[in-house]
């Protein structure tokens, strides 16, 4: 197939290597039109030539490809940027190719030109290529007046990555501090709005429904019911392994579910209505954070019926 070396039957004893080469290269005169282009290229400028019909040919030809007439003597600087028209991706460069890593061949219409230049584009991967993309030449360190003075074209800058990092010192606020203090004691603390008769967990000092001050602390159970859940396949520093399950758990005695990890059970067996209990880390290892609850694990009780209002609520 095409990338393979010429195919042979098993090596023949009389098979010989034959090389055709012009040592030092074959000398060719450029003529005035191509010579002008290559001379300008050596000075890192790209020029086209104007036809009698006022089109600009890049690279310049001695004749107008539409009419066959000789071109005018007027040279116009174009580019250096241009627009990709069509491209073909080379994933396995060959020794004679201009780049030794994957690249695209492209027809590129340089700004100010009416025809396209064929050259290579160093774009990293084929996903970076698209018709209409803007490119600019990458010049060789030393130019000598050949088309390869342009090593290749590279995409114009259209994106940057902006590093952002800043540090803070945060504290949990009064209500959450109170909640976390009790977590350290192995207790889940809620707050009851007297007006709404709703128990919120974690504890908070105002009712999100009516706005009234919450004055009554209410301890709730560390058992509850999974109301909904998600199986996470992306690692998270707060989870022990992937996949892990994060779930809304309606604690017994609360009216609003709380989000927490579920563990101790294969992820695919977690279900709505499943009864769970907090797995606390030993008291001496507690840090007054949610990490004091390793996760919620199944209690083994029959599943609760979620359609029946508040399952396990107010127990």
Partner 1 sequence: MRDVAIVAFAQTTHTGHDAGLTEAEMLHPVIDEVRRATGLSRFGFTCSGSCDYLAGAPFSFVSALDALGAWPPISESHVEMDAAFALYEAWVRLQHGDIDSALVYGFGKSSTGDLREIMTLQLDPYYLAPLGLDQVSYAALQAAALGGDRPDLRAALDEIVRRSRADGRANPHALDLPDPSGEDAEVQPLRPYDVAPITDGAAAVVLAAGDLARELAENPAYIGGIAHRAEPHYLGVRDLSRSPSAADAARAAGVGKAPVDVAELHVQFSHEELILREALELPEDTVINPSGGPLAANPVMAAGLIRLGEAARRILDGRAGRAVAHATSGPCLQQNLVAVLESAPRPQEGAGRG
**Which residues are at the interface with partner 1 (CB under 8 A)?**
1-3, 5-9, 12, 18-20, 26, 28, 30, 34, 38, 57-59, 61, 65, 85-91, 94-98, 105-108, 115-120, 126, 146-148
CB of 245 to partner 1, least distance (A): 37
> With respect to partner 1, which residue has the nearer C-beta, 147 or 267?
147
CB of 52 to partner 1, least distance (A): 15
- Contact predicate 246/262, CB 8 Å: yes
Pairing of strands 150-155, 134-139: antiparallel
CB of 8 to partner 1, least distance (A): 6
> With respect to partner 1, which residue has the nearer C-beta, 126 or 257?
126
> With respect to partner 1, which residue has the nearer C-beta, 20 or 157?
20
Nearest-angstrom CA–CA distance, 273 and 20: 80
> With respect to partner 1, which residue has the nearer C-beta, 93 or 186?
93
CB of 104 to partner 1, least distance (A): 8
- Enter the tokens of residue 138: 């990458």
Strand-by-strand arrangement of the 188-193 sheet: 198-200, 188-193, 216-220
> With respect to partner 1, which residue has the nearer C-beta, 61 or 265?
61
Residue 256's Cα: distance from chain center in Å? Answer: 36
CB of 132 to partner 1, least distance (A): 13
> With respect to partner 1, which residue has the nearer C-beta, 146 or 287?
146
CB of 84 to partner 1, least distance (A): 10
CB of 246 to partner 1, least distance (A): 38
> With respect to partner 1, which residue has the nearer C-beta, 91 or 177?
91
> With respect to partner 1, which residue has the nearer C-beta, 56 or 201?
56
- Contact predicate 127/134, CB 8 Å: no
CB of 156 to partner 1, least distance (A): 20
- Contact predicate 113/58, CB 8 Å: yes
> With respect to partner 1, which residue has the nearer C-beta, 97 or 294?
97
- Contact predicate 264/279, CB 8 Å: yes
Nearest-angstrom CA–CA distance, 78 and 48: 7
CB of 23 to partner 1, least distance (A): 15
Place of tokens 């809620």: 190
């Amino acid at each position: 197939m095409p990338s393979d070396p010429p195919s042979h039957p098993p090596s023949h004893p009389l098979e010989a290597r034959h090389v055709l080469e012009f040592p030092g290269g074959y000398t060719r005169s450029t003529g005035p039109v191509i010579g002008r282009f290559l001379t300008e290229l050596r000075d890192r400028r790209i020029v086209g030539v104007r036809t009698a019909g006022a089109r600009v040919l890049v690279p310049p030809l001695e004749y107008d490809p539409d009419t066959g007439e000789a071109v005018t003597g007027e040279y116009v600087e174009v580019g250096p940027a241009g627009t990709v028209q069509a491209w073909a991706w080379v994933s396995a460069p060959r020794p004679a190719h201009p780049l030794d890593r994957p690249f695209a061949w492209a027809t590129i219409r340089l700004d100010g030109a009416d025809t396209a230049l064929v050259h290579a584009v160093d774009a990293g991967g084929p996903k970076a290529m698209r018709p209409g993309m803007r490119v600019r030449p990458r010049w060789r360190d030393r130019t000598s007046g050949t088309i390869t003075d342009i090593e290749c074209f590279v995409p114009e800058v259209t994106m940057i990555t902006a590093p952002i990092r800043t540090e803070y010192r945060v504290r949990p606020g009064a209500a959450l501090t109170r909640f976390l203090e009790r977590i350290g004691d192995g207790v889940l603390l809620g707050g009851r709005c007297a007006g709404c008769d709703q128990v919120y967990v974690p504890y908070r000092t105002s009712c999100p429904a009516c706005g009234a001050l919450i004055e009554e602390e209410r301890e709730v159970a560390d058992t509850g019911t999974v109301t909904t859940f998600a199986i996470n396949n992306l690692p998270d520093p707060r989870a022990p392994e992937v996949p892990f399950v994060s779930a809304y758990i309606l604690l017994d005695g609360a009216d609003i579910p709380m989000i927490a990890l579920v563990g101790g059970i294969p992820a695919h067996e977690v279900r709505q209505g499943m009864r769970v209990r907090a797995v606390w880390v030993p008291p001496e290892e507690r840090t007054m954070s949610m990490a004091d609850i390793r996760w919620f694990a199944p209690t083994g009780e029959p599943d609760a019926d979620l359609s029946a209002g508040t399952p396990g609520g107010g127990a």
